[in-house]
Structure 1
């Protein structure tokens, strides 16, 4: 059964072009021209990925993302943003978007990012379904439950976006191993990810800030010239 992509774009010519390209790649495509229509289609079920324009009439793309994440923390969401909309990019990532692509874009890059996002969500679903795969990962007073997706440190619950969660899982599974940026990017974003090269540093900073919150010791350490390591002591 083909994977279903919901294209949320108010410019009909762009939406139609995206539909043609995606259907040629074998995807099933749904289209919505505004946030309310998109929300209705999404709630009908069966959507594997939202291709979501930030600038929408009525409900904005960011608000639609917030509502989607209230009901589903796992569906892939790829934002379409304007070139200079840094605030929208940050807000979208904070609310749980898997990735973003800046307009105008090359269709090959968009397709690569879609494949990457779908592969990661599929792998995550398969892992949850695998008997014995759900486990508790721990480092010092930090615990992560892969089954419930709960992260707790020092008795305080920590809210992570889907990408931040996947990153922390990878670091915890490879405790005390120095991981290069390329290793982290391949494991968390996928081998064909074509986004900005500093994305690993950005997300490490996000996760580090959230899991610290005044707690000691520092868990994620920078290894200059190489990458990062998670361990409970310097």
Structure 2
């Protein structure tokens, strides 16, 4: 069971989404505008927020930017109007974890919420026993798998939950080229309809960690190159 914040000024949509989530055992809190949402998120205790882009007081994209810039890593899923790919891409670039287009199928929304919650609460699927608790050095980046923390040149790098999940899956499979479909399936729980999400998350990781950490395998997917023997994963 999760505590979900629904940020939308359409009371009918809020009622439908809240009813859907409560039937699945989730707790729901609603906010009609960006300022109310900001206060709720500042208070803490929210597991995930569903955020409409078109809010009455502040653009939803600006709110995402402000939250992430202020260090808030609460998982965020954007609710967007179909036919606005530029807004979807910008929202992901600013730090949203995923997006769902309106009108949406209830099961699609629930699946996306569950995928983001799973990745923000548990280690990425595919981690092997011999890497549990390890420190992975990908100079200038270090990934602490036990603490779920990432450092660049010794400084902590704030990653949103899905950014971390993507990096961890690539890092624990380093040396192996991973297809976009496999990455989407393991990180977002589906191999359909989230290719833009994957592309924007890789771009964000590159901006935070360096352009050379993740390599594009043209026409296939992505790769973190294998480590030299001297810098392989070690235990603390």
Task: State TM-score, norm by structure 2.
Answer: 0.77
**Residue 203 to residue 13, structure 1, CA distance change in 2 (3 Å):** same
**Residue 40 to residue 89, structure 1, CA distance change in 2 (3 Å):** same
Unaligned runs of 5+ in 1: 126-131
Residue 168 (str. 1) matches residue 162 (str. 2): no
SS in structure 1 at match of 2:122:
helix
Task: State TM-score, norm by structure 1.
Answer: 0.77
RMSD: 3.0
Unaligned runs of 5+ in 2: 125-130, 228-236
- Which position in structure 2 is the counterpart of 1:152? 152
Residue 79 (str. 1) matches residue 78 (str. 2): yes
Measured against aligned partners, the alpha-carbon deviations of 1:192-232 in whole angstroms (never above 9, x if no partner) come to: 4653346445544554465445xxxx443444565332216
**Distance in 2, Cα, partners of 1:186 & 1:80:** 21
Higher relative contact order (CA 8 A, sep 6+): 2
- Which position in structure 1 is the counterpart of 2:194? 196
**Distance in 2, Cα, partners of 1:202 & 1:41:** 27
**Distance in 2, Cα, partners of 1:79 & 1:58:** 16
**Distance in 2, Cα, partners of 1:157 & 1:46:** 23
**Distance in 1, Cα, partners of 2:7 & 2:213:** 39
Offset, 1:62: 2.1
- Which position in structure 2 is the counterpart of 1:231? 225
Residue 220 (str. 1) matches residue 214 (str. 2): yes
- Which position in structure 2 is the counterpart of 1:129? none
1:36-115 mapped onto 2 (5 Å cutoff): 36-69=35-68, 70-73=70-73, 75-115=74-114
**Distance in 2, Cα, partners of 1:120 & 1:138:** 22
